[in-house]
Structures are given as C-alpha cells and as structure tokens.
Amino acid sequence: MNRLRLISFIAACAACVTSCGIYSFSGTSIQPDVETITLNFFEYTAQKVNPSLSNDLTEALREQFRKMTKLEQIDEEGDMEISGAITGYDVSATAVTANEVASQNRLTVAVRITFENKKHPEDNLESNFSQYADFPSTQSLDAVESALCKEIVDRLVEDIFNATVAQW
C-alpha cells in the first residue's frame, strides 16, 4: 500500500512540474518555444576607463546563461537578445572622518540593458542596473580594482539574469 502511495505521489509531482511548460529548477521562466539567445558585447560608454570591464561583464553573462539555461547561444537573431552598455564607472567617498578625510571609498558600476524576446514581446525590457563595492581609502583603486570589479560583475550578472529570464 505504501509503495502504491509513493508511486502515485511521484507521478503527481512529475505531472505538476511538466504541465506548466515554463518552469525549470534553475528558477527561469523561459517559454518552451524559445530556443536561442544572442548576448551582444556590452559597449563601454563611461567616462572613466576600465579596459577589461566590458569583456568581463559580457563573458560572465554568457557563462551564466550557459550554466542556468538550455538556450543555444548564437551570434545573431536569437529568439531572445540582450544588448547593453556600461554607462557609469565612478569612485566616490562614502565615509568621512572628523578631519574631513575619506575613510572609505565606493566603486560604482552602472549598466543599461535592452532585452528583446522576439517570440514573446510582452517580456521585452529596457532597464538600468547599478552595483557597488566599498574599499578602505588606505588602499588605492589600482590595488583593489580587479577584486571589486569581479564582485560587482557577479552581482550585475545576477540582476540582469533575474530581470530577463527569471523575471524576479
């Protein structure tokens, strides 16, 4: 009797998971008729230059889609397409001591993206994202820039992924 219940339970769970068609265990909500994606290179339009940031962000986003979806990545005319630009790359003081000296600085990266779903245009999106990381003013930006940018890129990729295909 217990075995029959277990089999019935498993069958019911399988029917529920496969019946909606757009649910996946990675948290994405991609319709089943969407099979390809084009992830364009992110342009760099910020005034302060970081020569590797565009490539780092583009490749991290491509890797996220490779790991978390079954979409085939193609160079042009994908069912979905993401393009964007790095529009801001700024360092500012976030904490000031009594002597009016910065004790902590913040690196902020801003990105503008355009997401187009050619099969389901109601999902299209244009949005701005921004992430930051703080560092002590006793360290130069050059000394911590690589680690900060990795942290910021990881968070931006998560934000972009969630906004486009996880729709959170």
117-143 pLDDT per residue, tens: 999 999 999 999 999 999 998 899 999
Helices (H) and strands (E) in the chain, counts: 3, 6
Domains annotated on the chain, with CATH: 32-166 (3.40.50.10610)
How far apart, in whole angstroms, are the C-alpha atoms of residue 158 and residue 23? 18
SS3 state at 10? helix
Q: Binning pLDDT at 50, 70 and 90, where does residue 24 land?
A: very low
The pTM of this model reads 0.80
Mean pLDDT of the chain: 86
More confident residue, 167 or 85: 85
User: Percent of the chain at pLDDT above 70?
Assistant: 79
How far apart, in whole angstroms, are the C-alpha atoms of residue 102 and residue 157? 30
